Chains A and B, each alone.
Chain A
Amino acid sequence: MEFFWLSIAGLATIAVLSFLYNDNPLYKIAEHFFVGIAAGYVVCTQFYNVFLPNLWQPLTSGTDYWLIVPLLLGFSLFTRFTQSLGWVSRWPMSVIIGTYAGLAVTGFASGDMALQIHASLIPVFEPTAVTKFSTNPNVTNFLGIFDNPLFTIGLICVLFYFFFSIEHKGGYRHVALVGTTLLMIGFGAGYGYTVMTRIALLFDRFYFLFVDWLKVAS
């Protein structure tokens, strides 16, 4: 029985990969199956893992009657489907948007902005890096001396690139150019990481096909 389900998964994998050769009915079938099953899975998971334990069971057991409020707000979202009562759905939407906006603002301000700015305020020259190199002279420690100066120069140049109040001409153009170059290096690294993720996915599928399913490799 296990081999049967493995075969279903294996055939579905081949059907999806067949798109790389050309668009074909096999791929379309797999795509439609995937969308349908994924939607059904999410609905069931939400119902049994969220709706029942978080709302229905505490309400029906009488442990938390306040949950009637989110229940009513939740159901009122469905009034969007009627023209006469559609306005009611704005109330739960306002609660959702207000809550998440409040969370996002405070979260970004305290977690991202303040702490990242604080972490960027480093001394341009770090004497301990020189001491580290003198006690243990190797390439890594030598390059470590340039960490802080490079970071500071890079930060200023990238920020300057987004500073549009001054025209990027003459000397300013060179500063902005350094900023652009650093940004390109950053995007390149980001793209490299993305490729890495995709190759990992491909390897995982091949591992499943050749090792788990067909058992022709190890």
Chain B
Amino acid sequence: MGQSTLQKMEKMDRRWVFLAMAIAVAFPLFFKLGLAPKTTPPVRAFYDYIESLPEGSLVLCSMDYDPGSKAELNPMCLSVLDHLMQRKLRVVVITLWSTAPAMVEGNVNEVCRDKYGRLYGVDYAYLGLKEGREAVMVAMGKSLRRTFPSDFYGTTVDSLPIMNGVENYGQFDVLINVSAGYPGTKEYVQYVTSRFDIPLLSGASAVSVPEYSAYYQSGQLRGLLTGITGAAEYEALINVPGLAITAMDGQTMGHFVIIAFILFGNIVYFMTRRNRGRS
């Protein structure tokens, strides 16, 4: 290959990389690849734990993410809620992220009310946001009613039948946290599972997973969903294909482009170095 061609390749405009990536990621929207995700042990453990709960068990869901992480965690939130409804479990949903309340409310209504026709206040409740991060987590261990005196709509929690007899974490069978970062799974591990007797399942954005995997290995997490891949695996497990499975096609195409550019960049680098050595 000529010296000038190599020099051109070395100085290739990065916008070609952006364009290639855009085409690759958007391609599956027009031409489906239909790649089936393979279930990994942490996702299977998450699923099996929910399956093991008897009908009517009470589940606390803390949906801690924002619109910035919606792409990864919204499909996860929807599929987890779907599974809980399939299993006829009672669900209390909260959030500790100030940009999440409206987004989470939409998901809760979409799945619990519209899809499964469950009764608000009896089968599920949405308590909304509470600011205070770790302090809120610890406070819920003492009194959930004092921490969340009213639900998202301003109704006092005492008037919600699902909250009868609920005082703290002790009355919940499991805590599920969908986490985009701080406060999230790490804080629930540090401040809740180590102090209060409640098992924790986590669904986290892929960025956080290297850190949270240690918690799964140590048994501090009973199950772990990893980003959009975890959401896709979960959708396949509960047999409700959604956005995550579609997104996996784009993900795969994107990875191919990245690998191709890494190889391309290395080949150009070594060829340039060899040519310089000769000259």
Contacts and interface: CB of A to CB of B under 8 A. Distances in A.
B190 interface: yes
A41 to B, nearest CB: 7
A52 B251 CA distance: 43
A110 B218 contact: no
Interface string B175-190: 0000000000001011
B72 A197 contact: yes
Interface string B1-35: 00000000000000100100110011001100000
Interface string B102-124: 00000000000000000000000
A54 B128 CA distance: 13
Contacts of B26: 206, 210
The DSSP consensus for interface residues of chain A is helix
Contacts of A111: 189-191, 193-194, 220
Contacts of B69: 197
A218 B120 CA distance: 32
Contacts of A104: 134
B165 interface: no
A113 to B, nearest CB: 10
B206 interface: yes
Interface stretch (A124-132, A159-167, A168-176, A185-193): A185-193
* A: interface residue count bin: 35 or more
Given A110-B190, A206-B26, A207-B246, A200 B71 contact: yes
A25 interface: no
B273 interface: no
Interface string A36-68: 001001100110011001100010000000000
B13 to A, nearest CB: 10
B155 to A, nearest CB: 11
Given A107-B187, A107-B191, A111-B193, A46 B72 contact: no
B277 interface: no
17 contacts: A46-B131, A49-B98, A53-B150, A58-B149, A100-B134, A103-B135, A111-B191, A190-B210, A196-B206, A197-B205, A199-B25, A202-B21, A203-B25, A203-B250, A204-B243, A206-B25, A210-B30
A118 interface: yes
A11 interface: no
